[in-house]
Amino acid sequence: MISIFDNFTKNGNYLQNLNPDEFLSSIMKDDKAVVIDVRTPSENAEIRIPNSKLIDIYNPEFDSKINLLDRSKNYYLYCRSGSRSLSAGRRMYDMGFKNVFNLKNGIINWNGPVESEY
């Protein structure tokens, strides 16, 4: 079944939704991969993908922090369910980033390695 996110990203050509297996495979093979968690610091402390960079989409400085990133890299975004990361990806595309990927259905659907501060 195609979700609204699949239709939106295909029609809008902003970013590609990857299922957990595709996401993990891509970041493992991509020497230009940067994994970004767009959730809040407390969510990130509970569980996160190892080596991911936290840039909270709710932080008023989100756009300025994103704007400092190297546009030649490939960005793999995730959040809890895939909605915030999709929104962040659209914003990044509007800022000139071309290689942005979203973890479809977020970390709640993730079956790869995780880490926690607890």
* Active site amino acids: 79
Asked if 94 and 19 touch (Cβ cutoff 8 Å), the reply is no
CA–CA distance from 45 to each of 2, 49, 53, 87, 115 (Å)? 32, 11, 12, 22, 9
Distance of CA 81 to the CA centre of its chain: 11
